[in-house]
Amino acid sequence: MRKWEYLRLVVTYRGSFDTDEVNWVTANHTDVLQPANISTFYDYLNKLGKDGWEMVNVFPISVGEVYHLKRPIS
């Protein structure tokens, strides 16, 4: 049976959801990008993909979005 590890990213925005103004990003409750912008966030997501992380879902919260990712444990 395959085992997984999970990553929860919380992305908050300055202003409204329709802006590309990322305020900060936390991964499993640890700040990873602060201050951030949409370009550094996309770079960070691409790095996670190269590290084997796969997006499971994204859902909105009052101040931004929450991303859930997973990757197999080797």
- Do 21 and 13 touch, CB atoms closer than 8 A? yes
- Identify the three-state secondary structure at position 34: coil
The structure tokens 């202003």 sit at 15
Distance CA 61, CA 10 (A): 9
Q: What is the pLDDT of residue 17?
A: 55
Better-predicted residue by pLDDT, 24 or 4 = 4
What's this model's pTM, rounded to 2 decimal places?
0.82
Distance CA 40, CA 36 (A): 6
- 12-54 pLDDT, tens per residue? 887 665 556 788 888 998 988 877 677 888 899 999 999 999 9
- Do 4 and 68 touch, CB atoms closer than 8 A? no
